Chain A
Amino acid sequence: MTTTRSMGTGPRVTVVAPGVVLTVAVLVVAGAVGPRLSDRVATHFGADGAPDGWSSPWPFFVITALVAVGAVVLAALAPGFGDRRTAAMTVLVVYLLAGVLVSAWVLIALVNTTDGPRMPWWWTLVFLAVAAAAALPAARVLARSAPPVSAHDVAPLDVAPDARVAWRARIGSRWFAALGVAVVVGGVWATWLTATEDAVGAVVSGVLLLLAGLSVLVLARVEVTVDRRGMRLTSTWTRIPLMRVPLDRIASAGWEDVSPGQWGGWGYRVSGRGIAYVLRSGPGLVVRLRGGRSRVVTVPDAERGAAALGALLAAHGA
């Protein structure tokens, strides 16, 4: 399940072409305008568009060209990455950087060929637009081609055709609970200590710490339920619903060995692949949604939960 799907020529072009265009643009402008540029050109402009900084254009050119070429190499390699969503994020960042650098250098080179170089502030918006136009389609194509979250398939629970199935499991972490209490206590204590010095600052930081601590407490003890209404994850102490997926939106269910590293840490993790509640390394219930995203909950009895959900899906579809 972890093998990456190969990409067609069209998507590959969408990923690589923006980098090639940026690289060609900066090289062509450097070749055409470069000989006419002096050693000291206006490279920094004030809010009114008048230049207020001068230097050689060439160190900036070398950096820009290297980033642009690096972006092309990265984009060419990206479809081979194990995790396409990580690849999409990397390409997005590098293309944004390359887009801003290339458009900025090209414009600086062009305005310096005129007698009175000026650059109004709104050109920064143009740089950002160029960067976004280069980065967003490429990143989207890569993210779209990502394989779904892997999971071991489970045979649906063997039940009578009109039987009703419900499964529920509780998951909790003493570490989370202790951390939440510590942050709440720390917030109250810090507010009390600093209240005499700076009342507003103390209240703001106190409220922030309190909110952080309470959110950790909300996540410290949860229960996951699978029944005819779908899958739900609810905070045990506060009854706040954390995930709610009706059966209609579920494509299939399975289980997988989940580790915090796969989701970037512990807790409630939102990513391009979906949403995961990760409390520990170990088995997790994987609910694949229609449309490719997933919900994952680490829970010891995940395999039986997946089997129960499989039976519910089979009955629902019939």
Chain B
Amino acid sequence: MLITVDPGARASLAEQVAAQVRHAIARGELRTGERLPSARDLAAAVDVNMHTVLRAYAQLQEDGLIELRRGRGATVLRSGNASFDRLRALVTELRAQAETLGVPLDDLYAMIKGAR
């Protein structure tokens, strides 16, 4: 799991930490049941306040990606993985459908980008 925090970026430090943990879960680097580094440890690693990391973890818990428990720290939840599994399944289905219809990948990107 790679965490980079840029104090010059527009997003807050806590948002940056949360986003990178989210990415690590999405990529499958953090698996269900795996424990995240303790807030104190991660804070020391990237030189931020421990409460910043705790805020990030609280946000992730709210999103249902991790579970915070006293004494056990933060663990990755099945539900978080499951929603990413669903996203991956949808992407696979989307690519298959596009291939059936003969829609090139570039056009598909354009469609995804224009969908909102």
Contacts and interface: CB of A to CB of B under 8 A. Distances in A.
Interface of A: 157, 159-160, 162-170, 225, 227-229, 301, 304, 308
Interface of B: 1-9, 29, 34, 37, 42, 44-48
A228 B46 CA distance: 7
Contact of A166 (B7, B8, B46): B46
A216 to B, nearest CB: 22
25 contacts: A159-B4, A160-B8, A162-B6, A163-B6, A164-B46, A164-B47, A164-B48, A165-B2, A165-B3, A165-B4, A165-B46, A166-B42, A166-B45, A166-B46, A167-B1, A167-B3, A168-B1, A170-B34, A225-B37, A227-B44, A227-B46, A228-B45, A229-B45, A304-B2, A308-B2
Contacts of A159: 4, 6
A209 to B, nearest CB: 30
Contact of A228 (B6, B29, B47): B47
Which secondary structure dominates where chain B touches chain A? loop
Nearest to A225: B45
B37 A168 contact: yes
Contact of A169 (B1, B5, B42): B1
A229 B41 CA distance: 11
A88 B4 CA distance: 43
Contacts of A169: 1
A195 B78 CA distance: 47
| 10 interchain residue pairs of minimum CB distance | A227-B45, A166-B45, A163-B6, A164-B46, A160-B6, A166-B3, A164-B5, A166-B46, A167-B2, A165-B4
A246 to B, nearest CB: 14
A159 B4 CA distance: 8
B29 to A, nearest CB: 7
Given A164-B48, A165-B3, 6 more contacts: A159-B4, A163-B4, A165-B2, A166-B4, A167-B1, A168-B3
Nearest to A168: B1
Candidate in B8, B45, B48 with the most chain A CB atoms within 10 angstroms: B45
A225 B3 CA distance: 11
A301 B47 CA distance: 23
